[in-house]
Amino acid sequence: MLAEPRLLVVDDEELYCEACRRIFSRQGFVVEKSQDARRGLELAESNDYSAILLDVRMPEMDGLEFLRNLRATKPDVPVILMTGFPTIPGAATAVRLKASDYVTKPFTPEEITQAVRNLLNLGKASPTAGGSADRWTPASSEVRFLGRSWAQPGVDTTYRVGAVLPRSRVGNSIAATLPRIGEVVYRGLPLMDLNIVGDPCRVAVSPLSGVVVAVNPAVAEHPELLWSRPCTEGWVAAIAPTRPEEHWNLCRPRNVILVSRDSTAAGVQARQLAELGCRVRVEADAAALVAAAMNDEQPVLIFDEASLGAYGPAWAERVKMTVPAAKTLVLGTDNSPWETAYRQQKIFFYAIRPFDDYEITEVLDAMFCPGGRSAAHEAARTPSEPMRGILVRNHQGRKIYLAAFDGVLRAHRGLGCAIRKRLLDRLLPIETYLGDKPFDPAETLKTAKTVDHLFALMVKDMGRIPGTLVREQENHAGWTEGRGSNVTVWHIQPEAQGPRLEGLPPATIEGLADLIVEEIANA
């Protein structure tokens, strides 16, 4: 294995050459590309590459001829074939010439990343390879959040991800299920789950999409790390991200303004907050405090009552008048003479020594992750007919059909409701087809011939975290044979207690809907 992974991409279409360069250069690969097969062969024969991504159908020289010539000088370099067809003409020849794998066009960044990383065994030397505490170095101190889940970039281009959970949510945990190395995780879909007494599945979602390259087994053995040291020893996984800039920019920092006139105490409190993923700014002046609060869209302020004394309630009142959306936590003291004055300002919370017993995790969770259920879940008990499909014309003018089987989608509740709402929010014209039908390969292939792309959505027990989405990796009898490249199959892991998706957490339903609609819109 080369010290710095190098890829060669050979494809006559600039779209795929540039897409692969962009995807893998972000992950620390050195990527060279060629749209000319003969020039690509010269590069392959004269340089050492970790792997070659090779298109099958090209003018002048096709992929199999390229591979045959390459094996004369480079018998062992791994080659992944890229094809717009579900089967490769001359597949037996490709196997004989030691093609390592193939991916079907169009592929997602997650699919091509998973193929390359699994082929090269990147991150598979041990459960924590590429992510162990002594080898992983953060690129910056900044941590950003999607709900309770956080991400932090590393100098090696991987991101550590995890979750900051309130102590009460983790206290009765008896087990934690982590993702698998080599598995694809998607933004907003399950990263891990906790088996909690009285609450069998509590999911933490992934803040980024990508391929898991390392996991932290300490979290499975000690779930309390998710509230005691969540952003250091309690990291859950390291991910090779496939859309790093896009998803990082969608995450938000947890900005906290710490109001204190005791610099020593403020330093200790700021470090404790930073360990919980907060970006802390300390203010000891009323004017500077108000200015800082005005610069934040929804400011979170923590007042140190002991150091502020009688100034505290007056400053809190001034902030509330200037920035009504501000949320204020007061670090109170026993028998305080100022508690009543603070409460008159309708502060968010008054807590006595919340850092001592990690009550601070409960308060921060309430401030940054307010409760509330999606419209799809508010309608969960509403009678709703099953949907067998949704026909969409996206903004590129392409006809897309989402086929649903065995009652997996309902028109007015759950995932079906969330998908329809998002499509309508994007002003995409849709036609909804009601009814419940089992999966029929022949009928589905017939439908696929009438549209530009068909997405087939099914539930399947894969032994994964409920809500996990996996693109089809196994063949169905009578299904893969003759299947066009305009068909994508998604399997969703259901809850253990039922074949459908009604029991999934609201955040998981929302994440699934976001991913499905994004794919439909861009197909």
Q: Mind listing the pLDDT tens digit for each residue in 373-408?
A: 444 444 444 456 889 999 999 888 899 999 999 888
Domain boundary among 192, 227, 250: 250
- Strands, E, within 64-135: which ranges? 79-83, 101-104
Tokens, residue 439: 């999966």
Domain boundary among 250, 283, 315: 250
Specify whether the CB–CB gap between 367 and 329 falls below 8 A. yes
Give backbone dihedrals phi and psi of 193, rounded to 5 degrees, phi first: -140, 155
In tens, the pLDDT along 469-518 reads: 988 744 444 455 445 568 889 999 988 765 567 778 888 899 999 999 99
In a domain, residue 115? The reply is yes
CATH number at 27 reads 3.40.50.2300
37 by DSSP, 3-state: which? Answer: helix
Quick one: pLDDT at residue 478? 47
β-partners of residue 138 are 154
Most confident of 188-202, 294-308, 462-476, 493-507: 294-308
Same domain, 450 and 409: yes
22 by DSSP, 3-state: which? Answer: helix
Specify whether the CB–CB gap between 164 and 276 falls below 8 A. yes
- Nearest-5° Cα angle at 464, 480 to 495: 100
In a domain, residue 333? The reply is yes
CATH number at 410 reads 3.40.50
Same domain, 281 and 300: yes
Number of structural domains in the chain: 4
Comparing C-alpha atoms, which of 343, 461, 348, 366 is closest to residue 406?
Answer: 461
Same domain, 260 and 244: no
In a domain, residue 48? The reply is yes
Q: Look at residue 121 and tell me whether its pLDDT is greater than 50.
A: yes
- To the nearest whole percent, how much of the chain has pLDDT over 90? 54
Helix axis angle for 37-46 and 63-73, nearest 10°, is 20
Comparing C-alpha atoms, which of 124, 322, 300 is closest to residue 212?
Answer: 124
In a domain, residue 1? The reply is no
Domain boundary among 326, 355, 384: 355
Could you tell me whether strands 51-55 and 6-10 are parallel, antiparallel, or unpaired per DSSP bridges? Answer: parallel
In a domain, residue 367? The reply is no
Quick one: pLDDT at residue 129? 43
Q: Look at residue 137 and tell me whether its pLDDT is greater than 50.
A: yes
In a domain, residue 132? The reply is no
Q: Out of 70-74, 203-207, 264-268, which region has the weakest mean confidence (pLDDT)?
A: 203-207
Same domain, 263 and 238: no
Comparing C-alpha atoms, which of 117, 112, 69 is closest to residue 93?
Answer: 69
Most confident of 174-188, 194-208, 296-310: 296-310
d(CA 189, CA 493): 11
In a domain, residue 196? The reply is yes
Give backbone dihedrals phi and psi of 255, rounded to 5 degrees, phi first: -85, 130
Q: Please give the average per-residue pLDDT across 254-281, as a whole number.
A: 96
Comparing C-alpha atoms, which of 122, 38, 134, 15 is closest to residue 78?
Answer: 122
Q: Look at residue 86 and tell me whether its pLDDT is greater than 60.
A: no
Same domain, 271 and 321: yes
Same domain, 389 and 512: yes
Specify whether the CB–CB gap between 25 and 109 falls below 8 A. no
Q: Please give the average per-residue pLDDT across 273-289, as a whole number.
A: 95
Quick one: pLDDT at residue 2? 58
Count of Cβ atoms closer than 10 Å to residue 103 Cβ: 17
Same domain, 419 and 516: yes
Q: Omega before 5 cis (within 30°)?
A: no
Which of the pair, 97 or 185, is modelled with greater confidence? 185
Same domain, 165 and 227: yes
- To the nearest whole percent, how much of the chain has pLDDT over 70? 87
Specify whether the CB–CB gap between 262 and 306 falls below 8 A. yes
Comparing C-alpha atoms, which of 82, 68, 74 is closest to residue 48?
Answer: 74
Same domain, 381 and 507: yes
Q: Which residues fall within 8 angstroms of residue 272, CB to CB, at 6 or more apart?
A: 355, 360
In a domain, residue 128? The reply is no
Same domain, 245 and 200: yes
d(CA 344, CA 119): 63
Find the domain containing 56 and state its range: 6-120
Same domain, 430 and 462: yes
Same domain, 88 and 20: yes
d(CA 47, CA 495): 49
Tokens, residue 355: 């850092």
Binning pLDDT at 50, 70 and 90, where does residue 369 land? confident
CATH number at 148 reads 2.40.50.100
